[in-house]
Amino acid sequence: MFFVGYAITQIPAGFWYSKFGVRGLISFALVLTSLFTGLIGTAGSAAMIKLYRVGLGMAEGPCPVGVSTTINNWFPPHEKGLANGVYFAAAKFAPVIVPPVGVWIMLTFGWRHVFYFFAVPGLFTSLALYLLIKNQPEDSPFCSQGEIAYIRDATVNSQTAIVRNERSFGWLDTLIRAKKIRPIETNREVFLSWNIWADTIGYFLLINIIYGLLTWVPSYLIKAKHFSFIIVYHAHEGDSAKRSPEAVIVNKIDMMNFDSIKSHLGHL
């Protein structure tokens, strides 16, 4: 349900950023992301969890588009690759840190507090973004004319120039050889560009693999290898936790299987 909302808002967010800039929407999206994250902790039924997850996806959808747009606006051409690499590395490193922290919060305070705790950082981040990041370098009082000229310089200096070997690879040149192309100027050309479609299809397949593993591996570890922090949770809470609605919710959230918990939560 999260990814339904996530996908719905990304293309409209891109149109918004192109027309009105990044600053306002990305800050507002972070506030909504924090709000829906906290609301999940208040859910009293499976239906409410689903509803809040859709809202969370819709709120979070504009954020990665906003970050990419900010990088595009604030970095010169030969530094955009590194900036995007740092951003995507951070996005993939976060799931390494968050699960153990989330488990500790759950064991210490209860599963609802996981959502309460993680709702807070987004509020501070949204405020920092709104106050410190402008739509364009020209709008920032902290950016000098020299820095603006450096960012807007479309040429590639000698240190970043790529020395190309012009040896022919035959028909492979059609696929792999770098070519000069005319810059995309209209929204229509975006949807007709093979480069855009190729990136989209490749990223679609990549995400299928990544999130396929993320959703399948926990279920495999729990069912086949009996690796589950839920067991630790039960031991921590006592036998009564095995029958508690909270334990059922945490177990199902971990396995990302929301459809099967309605029967367990009718009395919540």
Domains of the chain plus CATH, in order, are: 2-153 (1.20.1250.20)
The per-residue pLDDT for 158 is 39
* Composition of the chain by helix, strand, coil, percent to 5: 75, 0, 25
**137, 73 contact by CB (below 8 A):** yes
Residue 39 pLDDT: 95
Q: What is the mean pLDDT of residues 199-217?
A: 84
Among the listed ranges 36-45, 134-143, 209-218, which one has the minimum average pLDDT value? 209-218
Query: Full-prediction pTM beyond 0.85?
Result: no
Residue 219 has pLDDT above 90, yes or no: no
Separation between Cα atoms, residue 47 and residue 40, nearest integer Å: 11
**pLDDT at position 122, please?**
92
Kindly state the average pLDDT of the residues 33-50: 93
Q: Give 105's Cβ-side CA count (13 Å radius).
A: 16
